Amino acid sequence: MVMIGGLAMVVYLDVFFLVNFLMDYLLLWATGELALLPHRRWRMVLGALAGALYSLSLFLLQVTWAQALGIKILFSIIMILVAFFPLSLSPSF
């Protein structure tokens, strides 16, 4: 149970994890399609899994957004590297 503004809210961790995983996967897929990057499904699943686990850990530790800004940026880079490594710096269009 989480207290927000004096109200108690029930958060289901499996739903929280699944929604974060699906959104991370969708964002990685859209990034690959729009940037014309070659990508494999299993690598995008691993990247999305890393992002979902990170979101879950932030929620369980109740870290504020300002406290975790550097770690958020770092995990975003890790997700991209996991999903699209090796990255080419040459333009693909």
What is the domain extent for residue 44? 12-84
51 inside domain: yes
- The mean pLDDT of 5-25, rounded to a whole number, is 89
Helices 69-84, 13-34: crossing angle, 10 deg rounding: 60
Total structural domains in the chain?
1
pLDDT of residue 2: 67
Q: Indicate the pLDDT class of residue 59, thresholds 50, 70 and 90.
A: confident
Listed residue (75, 25, 38) closest to 55, CA to CA: 75
18 inside domain: yes
5 inside domain: no
pLDDT at position 89 over 70 = no
- Worst-scoring range by mean pLDDT, 10-14, 76-80, 87-91? 87-91
89 inside domain: no
Query: What CA–CA distance (Å, rounded) separates 17 from 70?
Result: 22
7 inside domain: no
